[in-house]
Structure 1
Amino acid sequence: MAPQYKLTYFDVGGTAEVSRYLFSYGGIEFEDVRIKRENWAQLKDKTPFGALPTLEHNGKVVGQSVAIARYLAKKVKLVGDDDWENLEIDAIVDTINDIRLKVFPIFMEKDEAKKKALIETLKNDTFGFYLPRLEAEVQKNKGYLVLGRLTWADFYFTTLSPMFDLITGEDVLASYPNLKGVKEKVNALPVIKKWIEIRPKSHTKKDIAKTQYYTHNIRPIFFQMAPQYKLTYFDFPGIAETCRYLFSYGGIEFEDVRIKRENWAQLKDKTPFGVLPTLEHNGKVVGQSLAINRYLAKKVKLAGDNEWENLEVDATADTLNDIRLKIIPVFMEQDDAKKKALLETVKKDTFGYYLPRLEAQVQKNKGHLALGRLTWADFYFATLSPVFDLLTGEDVLASYPNLKGVREKVNALPAIKKWLESRPKSGH
């Protein structure tokens, strides 16, 4: 008998729908809690980091939609057969999520002229860049997004892609028959077809799909000596530094390829989706820093001991990434007045909101961000947090001794200390 799960989100498909699909696919009983937008303000502070969806299990609550979906995908056997295959899936999922993050601001824009301009940019630059590449991936993978078979990446694309039509008023996938085929295949699965028929159709309907629980034995992960890896990024720490920390911690040999900014334009189209870092292994190349971190963390035993523990670590890492995404626009802003205003917002609303909660989380977890022990979430924070000071010109963690302690502990590890002493000084 499996424990009950409670999934909480708004009364729409959104970022929770992939989890609902996965619950339905695996026949896992779950409580589909849907809240009204007007009630969100009073409920927000009751969530771990003020965001939905959340998943509750055995009295524990975690957030972050992608982390939850990954956990559920393992339960229903829609993941890879080894860590590298899971990295390939994660890289595609994170790329699809990149598209989602470019779509989201358009829904929030109130000015009609600006909204129209944003939609045109989305159609030309975002869809125009990503969708042909994803179309080619499906063609290469026998009608699926990755691995030549059904995975949770197909589910994520299927539940996200209706947003493309909603924002543009067009059939965005009309020119992409392979991608359209992915969506049609997933929605035609009997259990998914049934879910679509019975899921709530309005903000008042309360029908919830409940079926017999299904599970399987999760294969253990064994530490192995790794072959050669090539990590490619720009010539500074950035979002590749966590990967470099993990390689160093595990004593895994890797080629640290650093490119100059001025050479990026000519190299961009040679990457899977026009972003860095990338990791190359046995002739295969993938992108997405968090996906790479997760893969390496398993190699060096800085992941959880079971799938729920991995979900907790992932949820924390994704929350740290939320902070990173709120910081980026400040670095990109050229207008000094606007930059100053954005910086004040980051200090007050972003740091002011997230850091006290993360501080409390470290206190609860015996000096670490998750699980009461060292995990890759601590590494991610240690490599991300210097950006806070760089951005503000202040010691942002001065009021957060527990968080500062996480960074100090990680940087004091002998292997990390050695890396810090020997890493290239250019760009630092």
Structure 2
Amino acid sequence: MPKYKLNYFDVRGFGEIPRLIFNYAGQEFEDRRWAYSDWPEVKHESETGKSPWLEVDDERIYESGAINRYLATTFGLAGKDPMENAQIDSIFDIYKDAFKEAAGIYMWVKSPYYNQVPVFYHEIVEKQYGKLEDMKPKYDEANEFYWPLVQKRLDKSGTGFFVSKLSWADFFLADKIETAMNLDKNFEKKFPKMIEYKNRIHSESKIQEYLKNRKESFY
């Protein structure tokens, strides 16, 4: 069995899906984390200047989507066929597109981690995107677009999962719902079916111990 090492910030973010997959599979792995304030010292270790990256023995996999797909295929959490895998890839990529730029920056600025970066960076963000209240409409717009799209697909599958079986898409979506709840106290009222879905996915017995004991994370 390969030796696995996940390298990412000490938040859920785009590192949480690999963690959930490993725990679901009962697979040991090294969960290396660092604070945002430590990234300048760590960044040089990344060949792309980004994180997460996954080490599998002497190989490295960069980009969260590639990591998720590799682990899902390895541990039985991919779709049952090429179409289901395409649908999973699609909803993942649509999220990254919908919550990029101002909507994504809003999520970060509103988090407690924002104070870990130098003040001069705050000034750069405000100059490019405006104040927090200026970014919120973009974030709200992304939510109003994205979650009904997810619900439409869930209704079509009719299984309680995003596709015909539990997949890494379910771990991904449940995680992002949790983040949305932290960012918007009215999210549950706006999208009650999403809360039901998240709770169902997080009730999976194989991840209960991890969810119970993991460190609290805003996103």
TM bracket, shorter-chain basis: 0.7 to 0.9
Aligned position for 1:188: 203
Whole-Å separation in 1 of the counterparts to 2:159 and 2:194? 8
Aligned position for 1:166: 182
Aligned position for 2:94: 95
Residue 113 of structure 1: CA displacement? 6.1
Aligned position for 2:136: 119
| Matched position secondary structure for 1:8 | strand
* Residues 1:144 and 1:67: Cα distance change in structure 2 (over 3 Å): farther
* Residues 1:97 and 1:121: Cα distance change in structure 2 (over 3 Å): closer
* Residues 1:11 and 1:199: Cα distance change in structure 2 (over 3 Å): same
Whole-Å separation in 2 of the counterparts to 1:145 and 1:99? 22
Amino acid at match of 1:179: M
Whole-Å separation in 2 of the counterparts to 1:91 and 1:201? 28
Residue 176 of structure 1: CA displacement? 2.2
Alignment check: 8 A CA contact 1:21 1:192 kept? yes
The gaps in structure 1 that reach 5 residues or longer are 203-428
Residue range with higher mean Cα deviation, 104-113 or 26-35: 104-113
Alignment of 1:221-370 (within 5 A): none
Tell me the matched-pair count: 199
Q: Which has the higher contact order (CA 8 A, sep 6+)?
A: 2
* Residues 1:145 and 1:94: Cα distance change in structure 2 (over 3 Å): farther
Whole-Å separation in 2 of the counterparts to 1:74 and 1:36? 30
| Matched position secondary structure for 1:161 | helix
Alignment of 1:58-97 (within 5 A): 58-97=57-96
| Matched position secondary structure for 1:188 | coil
Alignment check: 8 A CA contact 1:23 1:29 kept? yes
Whole-Å separation in 2 of the counterparts to 1:87 and 1:174? 30
RMSD over equivalenced CA pairs, Å: 2.2
Matched, 1:132 2:148: yes
Whole-Å separation in 1 of the counterparts to 2:36 and 2:195? 31
* Residues 1:120 and 1:201: Cα distance change in structure 2 (over 3 Å): closer
| Matched position secondary structure for 2:48 | coil
Amino acid at match of 2:138: T
1:150-195 superposed Cα distances (whole Å, 9 cap, x missing partner)? 2211111111222223333x24243323322221111111222210
Residue 99 of structure 1: CA displacement? 3.2
Residue range with higher mean Cα deviation, 139-148 or 192-201: 139-148
Whole-Å separation in 2 of the counterparts to 1:3 and 1:131? 37
Question: Which one has the bigger helix percentage?
Answer: 2
- Of residues 155, 164, 167 in structure 2, which corresponds to 1:151? 167
Give the share of equivalent positions with the same residue, in percent: 29
Residue 84 of structure 1: CA displacement? 2.3
Amino acid at match of 2:22: F
1:299-343 superposed Cα distances (whole Å, 9 cap, x missing partner)? xxxxxxxxxxxxxxxxxxxxxxxxxxxxxxxxxxxxxxxxxxxxx
Whole-Å separation in 1 of the counterparts to 2:187 and 2:130? 21
Whole-Å separation in 1 of the counterparts to 2:36 and 2:96? 23
| Matched position secondary structure for 2:202 | helix
Amino acid at match of 1:146: F
Whole-Å separation in 1 of the counterparts to 2:186 and 2:165? 25
Matched, 1:53 2:52: yes
Q: Which has the larger radius of gyration?
A: 1
1:67-116 superposed Cα distances (whole Å, 9 cap, x missing partner)? 10111111221112222221122112222232342532212444796321
Whole-Å separation in 1 of the counterparts to 2:136 and 2:182? 11
Residue 145 of structure 1: CA displacement? 5.2
Amino acid at match of 1:176: F
Alignment check: 8 A CA contact 1:100 1:160 kept? no
Aligned position for 2:25: 26
Alignment check: 8 A CA contact 1:48 1:61 kept? no
Alignment check: 8 A CA contact 1:119 1:167 kept? no
Amino acid at match of 2:46: T
Amino acid at match of 2:157: N
Alignment check: 8 A CA contact 1:53 1:63 kept? yes
Residue 15 of structure 1: CA displacement? 0.9
| Matched position secondary structure for 2:100 | helix
* Residues 1:179 and 1:12: Cα distance change in structure 2 (over 3 Å): same
